Structure 1
Amino acid sequence: MSGSTITPWVVGNWKMNPMQADASALLQNFKQLLNNQNIVEENCHIGIAPVAIALTAVRDSLKQANRTILTVAQDVSRVAGTGAYTGEISAELLKDNAIDFVLVGHSERREIFDEQPQILNEKVKNALNAGLTVIYCVGESLEQREAGQAEQVVLQQICDIAAVVNAEQWKNIVVAYEPIWAIGTGKTASPEDAQAMHAKIRQGLSQITAEGQNMAILYGGSVKPENAVELAACPDINGALVGGASLNAESFYKIAQAFANTK
């Protein structure tokens, strides 16, 4: 069974970009594109994940759009609540600031900042307990793929969080498959390879939770307008986690449009 009836998600991960003036212009351009030709919410959820310092400003700017655009945090603390934890932003603080969505487990957090499963589990648990929706990222390296370990690695990453997610919380998780070798490299998994992995992820999720058939599974890895239509046509690819292309309003709009047109 495919996830083709699931409303797609297109989320722009700005990473450590851009400067304030450029961010403001980017948001204005994107909102204008939606004004010119709207993408209705029923056909596609759209979100933007800015740097932490810009979360509330982006949230306020997006309120002026002609449709809901979600503001997504790029990370969350492994520590819950408030306290003497310099530099941290807890799930409760995000929720208190009307930031209801968060990325957890992005490959850059795993690879560059050495976030191990225990840390990611704490982040997932805290985010869900605070009422956030988690976009949980999974993916394999080129070495793991070439060694024939891609499915094993990705499914293990799914299983890692099962211990901290209760039955009711799975509906508040979106999975993003991002092959590490395709992130920021210009390389993209073929639609056939991406669909095969997404189908395997859905199968794995369905063995863990009754929500498995209803969960959105996004593709991330050099998504751009040129490949979005083909990716959107795959039954188990329910949207995109967009990196570099989300820093261009027209490119990001075209990607969202491609997925919305599958509905």
Structure 2
Amino acid sequence: MSGSTVTPWVIGNWKMNPVQADAQQLIQEFKELLQNNDISEQACRIGVAPVSIALMNVKAAFENAASPVHTVAQDVSRIAGTGAYTGEVSAELLKDSQIQLVLVGHSERREIFADSPQILCEKVKNALNAGLTVVYCIGESLEQRDAGQAEQVVLQQICDIAPVVEAEQWKQIIVAYEPIWAIGTGKTASPEDAQSMHAAIREGLKQLTPYGQQMAILYGGSVKPENAVELAACPDINGALVGGASLNAGSFYKIAQAFAETE
């Protein structure tokens, strides 16, 4: 049984882009596309993850869009609440600012900023306890894939956070599978390979929680309009975490449209 009845999510991860003027133009162009042909939230949920200093401006800019566009934080502090933690933004402060979703565990955070499983557990726990939805990113390196360890690595990354997720909180988690070797490289897992991994992730989630069948599992890694339709047709791929293509309004819209139109 697949996860094909799950409402898809398409989330644009803007990473450390763009400058304000370009962001305003990007938002305006995307809103115009939605105005001309809106995408219902029942068909596909849409989100964008800007840099932290732009969260509130982006949220405000999308409030009058023809279709809901959720604002997603790119990261969250391992520290809860408030206090003397210069440079940090806690889950509670995100919630207070009406930011409802947050990325945790992106490979760039794991690799460049040394987010260990322990740190990720603290971030996930704080975010869930504050009532946020966590977009939890997992994925293997090319070396791990070539060594035949891809499934083992990815499933272990899910198991890493299981001790801090309470039974009902699995409903607040979206999983994003991003093979590290496909992020920003132009390489993409074939639809067959992606579906195979997503099916394995689905089975792993079902072992951990009764909600595993209903959880959205997104694919990330050089997603673009040219491959979105094929990926959207895979039964266990419930959307996309989009990098570079989300910085082009037309490309991002076409990706969302591909998932919205999948039966």
Letter in 1 for 2:180: I
Partner of 2:92: 92
> Partner of 1:17: helix, strand, or coil?
coil
1:8-23 equivalent positions in 2, closer than 5 A: 8-23=8-23
Q: Distance in 1 between matches of 2:168 and 2:7?
A: 20
Q: Distance in 2 between matches of 1:239 and 1:100?
A: 18
Partner of 1:223: 223
Q: Distance in 2 between matches of 1:255 and 1:231?
A: 10
Q: Distance in 1 between matches of 2:37 and 2:66?
A: 10
Q: Distance in 1 between matches of 2:64 and 2:179?
A: 34
1:164-183 equivalent positions in 2, closer than 5 A: 164-183=164-183
Q: Deviations over 1:106-154 (max 9, x none)?
A: 0000011111000000000000000000000000000000000000000
> Partner of 2:210: helix, strand, or coil?
coil
Q: Deviations over 1:156-214 (max 9, x none)?
A: 00000000000000000000000000000000000000000000000000000000000
Q: Distance in 1 between matches of 2:45 and 2:6?
A: 11
TM-fit CA distance, 1:101: 0.3
1:109-258 equivalent positions in 2, closer than 5 A: 109-258=109-258
TM-fit CA distance, 1:64: 1.5
Letter in 2 for 1:174: I
Calculate percent identity across the aligned residue pairs.
Answer: 78
Letter in 2 for 1:209: T
Structure 2 unmatched ranges of 5 or more = none
Letter in 1 for 2:101: F
Letter in 1 for 2:223: V
Q: Distance in 2 between matches of 1:251 and 1:52?
A: 23
Q: Deviations over 1:226-247 (max 9, x none)?
A: 0000000000000000000000
Q: Distance in 1 between matches of 2:66 and 2:185?
A: 34
Aligned length: 263
> Partner of 1:59: helix, strand, or coil?
helix
Q: Distance in 2 between matches of 1:157 and 1:59?
A: 31
Query: Normalization by structure 1: what TM-score?
Result: 1.00
Q: Deviations over 1:15-65 (max 9, x none)?
A: 000000000000000000000111111100000000000000000001010
Q: Which runs of structure 1 show a deviation greater than 4 angstroms over 4 or more consecutive aligned residues? A: none
Q: Distance in 2 between matches of 1:165 and 1:30?
A: 35
Q: Distance in 2 between matches of 1:189 and 1:223?
A: 10
TM-fit CA distance, 1:66: 1.2
> Partner of 2:240: helix, strand, or coil?
strand
TM-fit CA distance, 1:249: 0.1
Q: Distance in 2 between matches of 1:20 and 1:187?
A: 29
Structure 1 unmatched ranges of 5 or more = none
1:70 aligns with 2:70: yes
Letter in 2 for 1:58: V
Query: Normalization by structure 2: what TM-score?
Result: 1.00
Q: Distance in 1 between matches of 2:143 and 2:70?
A: 35
